[in-house]
Amino acid sequence: MADLPPDIAAMSFEDALAELDRIVRQLEDGRGKLDDAIQSYERGAQLKRHCEAKLKEAQAKVERIVLGPNGPVAVEPADIE
């Protein structure tokens, strides 16, 4: 998540999704100045990328679950670049 602002990179998936939802509602309302809307759109795009990366991480971890005879035994760390 290299090109994200530090505050977004540190967010949990849930926090990023909640802020993205707030931005979408704000943009749909159409209130405010054009420059503010553009900045909100850019931040929303960054939040979307962050959420997608978090989901990809989670998917990779789930796919790496090692199953034993009694179910999940261990989770190998995901090798995500």
Q: Which of 52, 44, 13, 51 is nearest to 28 (CA)?
A: 44
The full set of domains in the chain, from first to last, is 6-75 (1.10.287)
Q: Measured in whole angstroms, how far is the alpha carbon of residue 56 from the centre of its chain? A: 9
Q: Residue 61: what pLDDT?
A: 82
Q: Residue 27: what pLDDT?
A: 93
The rounded distance, in Å, linking the Cα atoms of 21 and 67 is 36
Contact 1, 36 (CB under 8 A): no
Q: Residue 17: what pLDDT?
A: 97
Q: Residue 75: what pLDDT?
A: 61
Q: Measured in whole angstroms, how far is the alpha carbon of residue 80 from the centre of its chain? A: 15
pTM over 0.85: no
* Stretches in the chain below the pLDDT threshold 50: none
